[in-house]
Structure 1
Amino acid sequence: MGKITLIATAAMGIEALVAREVRALGYENVTVDNGKITYEAEESAICRSNLWLRTADRVKLKVGEFKATTFDELFEKTKALPWGQFIPENGEFPVIGKSVKSKLFSVSDCQAIVKKAVVDSLKKTYHRSWFDEDGPLFRIEVALHKDIATLTIDTSGSGLHKRGYRYLHSEAPLKETMAATLIMLTNWTPDRPFADPFCGSGTLPIEAALIGQNIAPGFNRDFASHGWDWIGQANWDKAMEEAEDLAKYDQPLEIYGSDIDHKMVDLAKNNAMEAGLGEIIKFKQMQVKDFTTKSKYGCLIGNPPYGERLGEVKEVEQMYRDMGRTFAHLDTWSIYMLTSHPDFEELYGKKATKKRKLFNGNIRTDYYQFFGPRPPKNE
């Protein structure tokens, strides 16, 4: 088929991190935009991108992009795209859409027009008047932004945050992609201790173990594009073999997770077992103010309660004070905390070395980074 164009979507603020992951896979012509990273590659990149991208939300195949200010223009230009190259006769192709700052603001109308245009295009390709749509899924998206329509097909299916290990989780879980983001924005390396004193359902410790042993995050799940004939099973097999070859299952890791709620600790243990990492991560029920360690030069990452609910604010603020006193003894550790509380530094009792704005779901948060000293180089 030759070169295709892919779009890896990303949460606001982490586009550069996703772009770094894309380049690490060996892909070039990488363009970074708000919420998306566009790049060119062979069809095998669909397999490798879905398997390896830890911080992207999903991977989309870009079919075309053009200006459209009328419904006729949207119809004709969509119909002219090579849909038959990607969607087989029996393909299921629902259409979703969004429109921002565009003359064509009715999303439902845009979806209906794109659907009709794709059907007309496929009729011409396959010389038939009806499509049963009982085969593999090719979910089409029409995204309009400032009158530019981008037509894509989703290659991922479920969002990439669904790694396949977390069947049970807490009420407000940290997405796996966000957990990976928090870790990859630190100075942690697999030869250093890692701790999460607010582990909840275990997402941060599990993602740290996957990163530490270089295990592809999509290794234990399926993707919508698994059933696409034009990619071919050989490409999927090769990508899976590569992931297996690059995994470092023998890499020793020192990873700890703790939580005040024993039910969360049990949940975290079950999720770690599901991920095949139950023997690697040590979980314990514990209040944050009881955290102690004899290890040096570790990395502590936490997503503590923010105090968003009424009645929780004073309790959360006291916990931040306790945290500051407890972590003051970790003078060789680097500490990273994510919270939306505007007075975190004052309550914690120390100004962060660096602060970064991130969105945890729809909540605007700050990632407070307290850098410790570098570990001495081994002789």
Structure 2
Amino acid sequence: MQKVELIATATFGLESVVADEVRALGYQDVRVENGKVEFTADISAIPRTNLWLRTADRVRLKIGEFRATTFDELFEQTKALPWSDWIPADATFPVEGKSVKSTLFSVPDCQAIVKKAVVESLKKTYKQDWFEEKGPLYKIEVALLKDIATLTIDTTGPGLHKRGYRSLIGAAPLKETMAAAMILLSRWKPDRTLMDPMCGSGTIPIEAALIGQNIAPGMNREFVSESWPTIPKTAWREARAETHDLARYDQPLEIIGTDIDEEILRVARRNAAEAAVDEHIHFQQMDVRNVRTKRKYGYLICNPPYGERLGDWKQAARLYREMAEALRTLDTWSIYMLTSDEQFEEHFGRKASKKRKLYNGNIKVDYYQFFGPRPPRPNKSETPAD
């Protein structure tokens, strides 16, 4: 089967998480760079990665890469790439761009040059001077970084965070891809209780349920490359069939989402129903200061409000102190918090076991991880009482 070069783009700080996901799908030729993970695979990887990647932003098909410091170099080397291998004569092929630390810093000019070069390349193959662009969408990107131009085509369409279940959201929502990353980084297992005491519209509990039952995040949505004639329809059918075959719908889960706002909890319940995981999540109205559980061990994963996100640093600091007091009873739980407050540990009254720098949108945040003790293993020598 045809080999292709693919790029899974990633939020800064999540590249290694995305790379682990790519390897878990069976792709071994993986290269990790800032903001992206590159890998070589056969063409069936386009549907499979779009369906399965939980933490990537999108999947791009790499057409070519070269050094360009003049518009002539950009034009000629773009024109020489095999565009007609992918783009049919009736395709719609807009060009977007970005330029960082490059001689060719004018993005509109670079976009225009690339568009003209692609048109000239397609003219040679299809023997026509005009392209109506009424067919399938092939969104081209020219990305310049330190004078290296990378030309790609987007295979995803709307970003991978758009799972399709969250038509209703609350204030300052957490992206589904970031929520999934928080869960994966925690090493949570589906046989352990997971709680989000400030769950908002339910993104963390819903993503946990999808992970716990191995439900592909893209199972219930469409992708722009499904309309491409170059990718066999059988590849998409087989990839979608795989998502159903590998789902573990019978995996029991104990996932709890609480929030003080009953209205946003109604949104969370609707979102969970849209994702078809509502029966696996218990949503309850509760002030975080009143959080209690009889479970001895578990994972608390939370994206609490923080000043930069919602506009009140003093209120956020007070909330962290109140949370710390409420969570003292969960001293055997592992706790994970995402916030941009660099004094979070001081407010929370504990030093994190580990913290990881991430970006929530354009906001630099830290993922504070407080590891709880491992639960005791069952004593195999003990036998059930009669």
2:20 partner letter: R
In the aligned structure 1, how far is the partner of 2:47 from the partner of 2:125?
26
Letter in 2 for 1:163: R
Measured in 2, the distance between the counterparts of 1:111 and 1:63 equals: 16
- Tell me the TM-score normalized by structure 2: 0.96
Aligned to 1:198: 198
Which residue is 1:256 aligned to? 256
| Separation (CA, whole Å) in 2 of partners of 1:309 and 1:175 | 13
Q: What's the offset of the Cα at 1:341?
A: 1.2
Q: How do residues 1-379 of structure 1 correspond to structure 2 at under 5 angstroms?
A: 2-308=2-308, 312-378=312-378, 379=380
User: Aligned partners of 2:71, 2:318: CA distance in 1, in Å?
Assistant: 57
Mean Cα deviation higher: 89-98 or 125-134: 125-134
Amino acid at match of 1:94: P
1:169 partner letter = I
Sort the Cα spacing of 1:374 and 1:270 in 2 relative to 1 into closer, same or farther, 3 A.
same
2:103 and 2:349 mapped to 1: Cα distance? 51
Cα displacement (A) at 1:279: 1.1
- Match for 1:219: what amino acid? M
Cα displacement string for residues 69-118 of structure 1 (whole angstroms, at most 9, x for unaligned residues): 11111111101000000001111100000011111111101101100110
Match of 2:236, SS state, is helix
> After the TM superposition, which parts of structure 1 deviate over 6 Å for at least 4 consecutive aligned residues?
none
**Deviation per residue, 1:325-350 (Å, 9 max, x gap):** 11111122100011111211111111
SS in 2 for 1:328: helix
User: Would the alpha carbon gap of residues 243 and 311 (structure 1) be closer, same or farther in structure 2, given more than 3 Å must change?
Assistant: closer
Could you tell me which amino acid in structure 2 is paired with residue 185 of structure 1? L
1:356-379 Cα deviation digits (max 9, x unpaired): 111111111111111011122244
Aligned partners of 2:189 and 2:204: how far apart in 1? 14
Corresponding position of 2:383? none
SS in 2 for 1:279: helix
Q: Structure 1: how far apart are the matches of 2:318 and 2:256?
A: 24
- Give the aligned residue type for 2:233: Q
* Partner deviation per Cα, 1:276-305 (whole Å, 9 max, x = no partner): 011111111111011100112210001001
Task: Look up the equivalent residue of 1:132 and give its one-letter code.
Answer: E
State the alpha-carbon separation in 2 of the partners of residues 32 and 342 from structure 1. 28
**Secondary structure of 1:265 counterpart:** helix
C-alpha distance after superposition, 1:215-248 (max 9, x if no partner)? 0000011111010111111000000011100000
Q: Calculate the aligned-residue CA RMSD, in Å.
A: 1.1
Aligned-partner SS, 1:47: helix
Alignment partners' CA distance in 2, 1:317 and 1:105: 42
Task: Assess, with a 3 A threshold, how the Cα gap between structure 1 residues 242 and 310 changes in structure 2: closer, same or farther.
Answer: closer
Distance 1:283 1:367 in 2: 24
Aligned to 2:211, what secondary structure does the other structure show?
helix
Q: Give identity over the alignment, percent.
A: 65
Separation in 1 of the partners of 2:308 and 2:78? 45
For 2:38 and 2:119, the matched residues in 1 are separated by 27
Q: Secondary structure at the match of 1:308?
A: helix
SS in 2 for 1:77: helix
Distance 1:362 1:327 in 2: 29
Task: Report the Cα distance in structure 1 between the residues aligned to 2:77 and 2:316, rounded to whole angstroms.
Answer: 54
CA distance 1:182–1:230, shift in 2 (3 Å): same
Runs of at least 5 residues in structure 2 that lack an aligned partner in the other structure:
381-386
Question: For 1:329, what is the secondary structure of its paired residue?
Answer: helix
Q: Is the 8 A contact 2:50 2:59 kept in 1?
A: yes
Please state whether the residue corresponding to 1:177 is helix, strand or coil: helix
Query: What is the CA–CA distance in structure 2 between the aligned matches of 1:128 and 1:293, rounded to whole Å?
Result: 69
Structure 1 letter corresponding to 2:230:
W
